[in-house]
């Protein structure tokens, strides 16, 4: 652990994002507690969302490796391709996005306006999008380009760091507002965001508990957390607070 080089990060979003109280929902669902929403949708890049914090680390690595474009893909309702197109555009990288044909007109239009090249696929079987991502990267390399592959969901060790940073921001904000957060709930897809939420909570507010609610597939929080923790410990160690 002594020889780890600091992990680089870009600043692409407008931070901190607001911490907004949901007064009506709190009255209905709060069971006596106040409810707050961390508005990462308002982070000021593309349509916002959880991918921008992840991409701040991922694109720093892409630039450091001398890449000239990114290749990525996502499901028809994923917020990742648009976030990738917006962030890549900001740092001067071109973006190749593999998207199922059934993706709506609006996300496609936005991605194109952000300068991305869209590669529509008939995504019947699972695995089609990643396969076309790999094929596209290979074709770009053959043309002399240097592509960086952004994994599905922008889920990598960098994503964990992005959401650990988000928790540092959240607990700092809460302290300034005189709030003590006793529970954080996030959405879980690959579990990468949640692994960052857990890490940041352990580091910056150990008495808070954290829960993920899965968007679909069965999701066991221990498996993704253990996986990301293992991968992260090879490249990163916590800095003093
Ligand atoms: C806004 C938002 N939060 C969280 C998640 C979950 O992300 P992860 O794949 O890191 O679990 C998603 C994924 O679709 C998302 O769109």
| Residue 153 Cβ contacting ligand 1 at under 6 Å | yes
Cα-to-centroid distance, 215 and ligand 1 (Å): 8
Q: Running DSSP on this structure, what letter comes out for residue 32?
A: T
pLDDT in tens, 174-230: 999 999 999 999 998 888 999 999 999 999 999 999 998 887 666 555 666 777 778
Q: Running DSSP on this structure, what letter comes out for residue 68?
A: -
Structure tokens at 67: 């890449």
Cα-to-centroid distance, 187 and ligand 1 (Å): 6
| Residue 156 Cβ contacting ligand 1 at under 6 Å | no
pLDDT in tens, 119-151: 999 866 678 899 999 999 999 999 999 999 999
Cα-to-centroid distance, 169 and ligand 1 (Å): 18
User: How far is residue 48 from each of residues 29, 86, 99, 113, 232, measured CA to CA in Å?
Assistant: 26, 9, 19, 16, 25
| Residue 187 Cβ contacting ligand 1 at under 6 Å | yes
pLDDT in tens, 53-99: 999 999 999 999 999 999 999 888 888 899 999 999 999 999 999 99
Say if CB 180 and CB 23 are below 8 A apart: no
CA atoms within 13 A on the CB side of 202: 10
Atom of ligand 1 nearest to the CA of 78: 14
Angle between helix 222-233 and helix 192-204 axes, rounded to 10 deg: 70
The pLDDT of residue 220: 57
């Amino acid at each position: 652990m002594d020889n780890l080089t600091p992990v680089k990060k870009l600043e692409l979003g407008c931070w901190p994002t607001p911490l907004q109280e949901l007064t009506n929902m709190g009255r209905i669902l709060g069971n006596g507690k106040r409810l707050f929403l961390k508005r990462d949708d308002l982070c000021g890049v593309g349509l916002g969302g959880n991918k921008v914090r992840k991409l701040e680390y991922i694109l720093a690595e892409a630039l450091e490796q001398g890449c000239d474009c990114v290749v990525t893909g996502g499901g028809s309702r994923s917020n990742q391709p648009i976030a990738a197109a917006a962030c890549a555009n900001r740092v001067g990288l071109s973006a190749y996005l593999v998207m199922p044909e059934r993706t709506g007109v609006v996300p496609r239009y936005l991605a194109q306006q952000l300068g991305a090249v869209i590669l529509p696929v008939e995504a019947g079987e699972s695995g089609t999008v990643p396969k076309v991502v790999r094929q596209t990267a290979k074709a770009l390399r053959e043309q002399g380009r240097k592509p960086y592959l952004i994994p599905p969901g922008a889920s990598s060790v960098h994503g964990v760091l992005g959401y650990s940073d988000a928790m540092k921001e959240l607990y700092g904000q809460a302290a300034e507002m005189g709030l003590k957060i006793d529970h954080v709930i996030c959405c879980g897809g690959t579990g990468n965001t949640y692994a960052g939420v857990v890490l940041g909570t352990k580091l910056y507010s150990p008495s808070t508990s954290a829960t993920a609610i899965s968007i679909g597939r069965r999701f066991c929080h221990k498996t993704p957390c253990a996986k990301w923790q293992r991968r992260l410990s090879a490249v990163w160690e916590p800095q003093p607070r």
